[in-house]
Amino acid sequence: MYEEYFGFSNKPFQITPDPEFLYLSKTHKKAMNYLNYGIRENSGFILITGEIGTGKTTIIRSMMKALPGNVHLARINNTRVDSDLLISMINDEFGLGTSGKGKIELLRDLNDFLINQYAERNQCVLVIDEAQNLSSDLIEEVRLLSNLETDKSKLLQIILVGQPELRATLSRPELEQLSQRITVSCHLRPLVEEELEGYIRHRMAVAGNATAVSFEPGVISEIFKFSGGRPRLINVICDYALLSAFTDQVKIIGLKQIREIVDELAEEKQSTDTVVEKEVVGRERTVLVGDIESIKERLTRLEMMMSGLGMALLDKFLKGPEPSGPEAEPLSGMQAVENSLMELLERKRSRIASKSMEVEAEKLRLERERREMVEKERRLRLQSRDN
């Protein structure tokens, strides 16, 4: 709509992840270096995390474009699947037939394919995006895939990409084996304010005109306050700003103009959040209350169990052994009671801690869903305005 007026070949601030527009901020450059190192060294697992809109998918797509010819890559985006479908999707990405095949046959085909690729000096990489949606069972399934190896090298390198709750999931005790195999890990952070104008100029340069507009003092700071340095939100507000400047037929982004845009977007966000809260937050509260009540119930049962076990053991040891055997010392009996209770308590504590982590992960997941719905609603409104 405004491309010709500003001298752009295409829109500079689209929110779709286009690697051509990748701006290597300090955090994005670090992530790219880590990815390239991990692939070059054929490390174990690589973990890339970041909040919504920080550029994870753009980083991955940029990495994919730069891969050498001997690297075969499979990328999985839909992670809300079961084990059989996940393996089928991986095989399909590698170009293997999947029709009518069960899991055992699929795994055999994958193993043969990886061995053949290794023999031909090719490298196979599996990228799992949105990995925070994987269940613990599926993550364990992915870990088992990493066991496909020769004496000297992994046959399949795995890159997990997801939002911060993925790290919380991987920290669970039952996933410790996978966590220990993560050799390269990086968390994408938002841009700092000093990088913001460079980011904006870079995207305009890629679109065809780095000096298409100028900014009044304070405008960059205002954009940073609204966006928090997250590239996706920067793109949203800058797209609005260009549209507004085009409407007014000016090439200067003013502070008053940008504040009006920020206020309008903030009002839209508040309105959308209210709608989303009815659909998501209510469900979140139900889930959390249910989990808390479940934990309380388990604690009550634990106390009763400990009390009953303690009395039984105490009675047994205080009575002492049969007359025909040696007499038991009272101290050893009491020590045995204490040891048994401590072991039981430790097992229960571990289970409750694991459940608490699941609750936290669920909270993070629901918050992510809420944010995605807000972002989707905002995107639809922007599209309707462009039209």
Distances (CA, A) of 157 to 146, 302, 323: 7, 43, 66
In order, the DSSP letters of 122-171 are -EEEEEESSGGG--HHHHHHHHHHTT-B-SSSBS-EEEEEE-THHHHHHT
Residues of the chain below pLDDT 70: 269-362, 374-375, 377-379, 381-387
Residue-wise pLDDT for 267-323, tens only, equals 776 655 554 444 444 544 444 444 455 555 554 554 555 444 444 444 444 444 444
d(CA 334, CA 332): 6
230-266 pLDDT per residue, tens:
999 999 999 999 999 999 999 999 999 999 998 888 8
Predicted local confidence at residue 225, as pLDDT: 93
313 near 328, Cβ under 8 Å?
no
Q: Whole-angstrom Cα distance, residue 136 to residue 357?
A: 12
Type and span of the H or E element at 288: helix 282-319
pLDDT of residue 356: 60
Predicted confidence (pLDDT) per residue in 222-239, tens digit: 999 999 999 999 999 999
- Using CA atoms in the order 263, 269, 274, 277, what is the torsion angle rounded to 10 degrees? -150
Cα first-last separation, the chain: 9
* pLDDT value, residue 361: 67
pLDDT at 10: 93
Q: Which two tokens stand for residue 180?
A: 């220990």
